Structure 1
Amino acid sequence: FMASSANVLWKLNQISVTNTLLPLPAFFVVYDAFYAPFHRALHHRSVYAFVHKHHHRQVVPTRGNTDAINVHPFEFVMGEYNHILTIFLVSRYLLPIHAVACLLFLAIGGCLATLNHTRLDCVFLRVPFTSIPVFAVRAHDTHHVIPNSNYGQYIMLWDWVMGTFRPHPQDPGSIESRRKPAARCKLQAEHSHEADMPVVGTKEKIG
């Protein structure tokens, strides 16, 4: 596609900020606009066991790219085709792009997918006016623990739109972080109540 499309430039003297750097954010937004709903569909109980369950056998991914590409062949092909679809849509309907931008998209995407399957705690940017990260390793880590959340491959924008974003259990604002103070308050109240109660016991008999 890149070789035959008139909207993909190849000459080095045609490289510019507009056709090389500007398309990059658009690539990731468009890619996950398709991938996040697709990923969510793979978690439907009617198909989960046949395709995506294989990837989730690794509950705590640690091996980087090895875990990132450890997916069913159907899922792998669809994910790669989505890159081509993204490049087509951005170059056809948004702006002409340089081939270098496409290569950067694939390279950066590969790095982000790899990071998502490591123990490295990386966070890049946040959705404006929210605490939701645009990219965060913790977000995908949460998905492996709580599968019905955080379906985006690269960014959490569309999970925010779909209402499927879930903060990491250790992050402020998460369900788990709200439960802990409540549990502590309940425990403190119980201890306070016990302290106010008279001590009932038997006196030791002397002599």
Structure 2
Amino acid sequence: MCTSNNEPKLADDSVLTPNSTGIAPKASQSSQFSTPKKPMRLKKQQLTSLLLDSATSIFVIHYIYKNPSYLNPWEIPNAQLWVLGFILIRCAIVFYDHLVVFLIEKAFKCKVLPTREPGAPPVRYVELDTRSVVYLSLNSLNEYTFVMRLTYYLWDGGYQGMLPWRLSQLSLGNTIVAIGIMFISMDLLYAPLHHFLHLPSMYPLIHKHHHRQHFPVRGYLDAGNEHPIEHMIGVTCTWFAVCTAEVLLPTMKMLWEVIKTGERSDIKGILASVELRGGGVHAVTVLIFFQLHAALAMMNHSPFDAQFSLPFVGSSLLFGNDSSRIGAMDNIPIIGKRLRRVISGQWFRYSVGHHEMHHRKFNYNYAQYCLFYDHWMGTFISYEGPKTASELEAKKKAKSS
């Protein structure tokens, strides 16, 4: 699926580049047997990373010791059944990963991204190392726990036990509207947290490992190959999306009814008396959302040029690119340019190419589906295809001159 680079690799996965004679220069006699010293900055990063990982491990072990039901919300009676459930979930994820690739490639006839087409410059491909295997193993345990807790949450009726299960209770609000709220709310939390992980002080500690692969190709293996702290952040965002959809619609409806029937002079008292209500999303909708989210995360780390959008959501089609109203927004203090970027951009759009650009140029496209945050912050970048041989040569000459 992806053109791999067969050039020899260094220990840090960088490509060896021979000198003009085609032979790597020999080490000098004095430095041939000496060990290069690590920069002080790198030593500090490694120490900080060790302290962070150790503190996180201690916290997780302590929390599970105090709350053993976290790993077994269904109260599975013995360890053998618990392990069997883990194995079944892993097999299901592997099958689902291959199913998504099969459907995209065979059923939807989706082409590969321009960077993976035959004749394009070879892309950098990084094998899974020992740390990657450890991270994937820990994250698989977290995924199993998440699946158990999510299904138990749905079975228990969700927040306040009001989440519907019967098919007769399906409606436009708790299906289509709810799934839109889940995708938007998840990215509105995930994008700034993702941006936070890219801060210079945080990036080498947690998120850098996920970016070892500049051109993702392995689907689930590249999506889940991340630091366990980052994986937990992703799980938290998914929980946030489910809870937001469940409480937002019924709470807003109840609030509207209270305000409409109450006295206008007592709005503060009405707001203070309103409690969050559940039941705004159907259990089947949550399961569908989880399956879609998993499939899109896998595709985001595949070589296929899959994309879709809602053309009238945050789109310039509503106003036109050359609208004088949009241009006048630049005159609004502080937020004018950001408003223009949001209104004139297609911010509800999924594109594997957008996420590939994030892996290639780290400081752009932090969101996954709802690009509102990137348009607002000015971190959105459109997809760029591979450069031709003449363009690469011109760039090389420009650098040398």
Q: Name the TM-score, length of structure 2 as normaliser.
A: 0.41
2:115 corresponds to: none
CA contact (8 A) 1:7 1:97 kept: no
Q: Deviations over 1:39-76 (max 9, x none)?
A: 00000111111110110001110011111111111111
> Which residue does 1:165 correspond to in 2?
380
What does residue 367 of structure 2 align with? Answer: 152
Q: How many angstroms apart in 2 are the aligned matches of 1:120 and 1:92?
A: 36
SS at match of 1:135: strand
Count of residues paired in the alignment: 174
Q: Deviations over 1:166-205 (max 9, x none)?
A: 111239xxxx9xxx8xx9xxxxxxxxxxxxxxxxxxxxxx
Instruction: Find the partner of 1:60 among 215, 226, 230.
Output: 215
Which deviations, in whole Å up to 9, do the C-alpha atoms of 1:87-112 show, x marking residues without a partner? 11221122411011111111111111
Q: In percent, how many aligned pairs have the same letter?
A: 34
- Given that residues 113 and 154 in structure 1 are in contact (C-alpha distance below 8 angstroms), is that contact kept between their aligned partners in structure 2? no
- Structure 1 gap ranges (5+): 184-207
| Pairwise CA distance, 1:131 | 5.5
5+ residue gaps, structure 2: 1-152, 251-279, 317-343, 395-401
Give me the whole-angstrom Cα distance separating, in 2, the residues matched to 1:63 and 1:156. Answer: 24
Q: Kindly indicate whether the alpha-carbon contact (under 8 Å) linking 2:186 and 2:237 is maintained by their aligned counterparts in 1.
A: yes
Could you say which residue in structure 2 is the equivalent of 1:195?
A: none
Say which of 299, 316, 333 aligns to 1:115: 299
Give runs of ≥4 in structure 1 deviating > 4 Å.
Answer: none
Question: For residues 145-185 of structure 1, what are the alpha-carbon distances to aligned partners after superposition, in whole Å with 9 as ceiling and x for unaligned?
Answer: 000000013332321122110111239xxxx9xxx8xx9xx
Root-mean-square deviation over aligned CA pairs: 2.1
Structure number with higher strand proportion: 1
Task: Give the one of 154, 169, 175 matched to 1:14.
Answer: 169
Letter in 2 for 1:128: S
Is this contact kept in 1: 2:220–2:297, CA < 8 A?
yes
Q: What are the Cα deviations for residues 104-153 of structure 1, in whole angstroms up to 9, with x where unaligned?
A: 11111111111111111112115411454611111000000000000013
Higher RCO (Cα < 8 Å, 6 or more apart)? 1
Per the TM alignment, residue 26 of structure 1 is displaced from its structure 2 partner at its CA by: 1.1
Greater alpha carbon shift after TM alignment, 5-14 vs 149-158: 5-14
